[in-house]
Amino acid sequence: MFNGYLLKLDGKIFPLNLIQPSTYTCTPNQILDEDSYTDGDGVLRRKILPHKRTKIEFNTPPMLESNTTELRNLIKNKDKVTAEYFNTGTGQYASGAFYIPDVEFIICKLYIEKKDILYDSIRIALIEY
C-alpha cells in the first residue's frame, strides 16, 4: 500500500517534488546470469543466479543550482545507500542496499546577473547490489 512517498534513502524521504512522476520506474527482481552463451546450435544457455536485483530510475524536474543542495545531500553516499522504495510490481514497500551511478548535472541556462545556473532534468538511478 502506498504511504505517500516513493523512496527513502538512508531513512530520509526523497521529496516527491524532486521526482518527475512520469519518469519513475521500478524494475524489481531482475534476473542475473553468469556466463550465458549461445551454443553451436544457436540455443541460448543460461545459468540464472538465485539473487535478483531491483533498479529504480527517475528524473528530477529542471532546477536551479541554488536549489540543488537537498538533492546533493540525499545522493552523496553513492557507493552504498539503504533504500526503501515503493515496488510498483507488488504495490508494497521493499528495501535493499543500492549504489547510485554517476549523476550528470547538465547546464541548461546561465543567469549571470543572478549568479545562478539552471540545470536540465537530472537522471537518478539506483541499482541494487
- What's the pLDDT at 65? 94
Residue 126 main-chain phi, psi, to 5 deg: -125, 130
User: What value does the mean pLDDT take over residues 83-92?
Assistant: 94
For 13-27, 31-45, 50-64, which range has the lowest pLDDT when averaged over its residues? 31-45
Query: Cα separations (Å) of 3 from 42, 52, 116, 126?
Result: 48, 25, 35, 20
Q: What does pTM read for this prediction? A: 0.83
Average pLDDT over residues 101-112: 96
Place of cell 537518478: 124
CA dihedral 94, 127, 121, 68 (to 10 degrees): 80
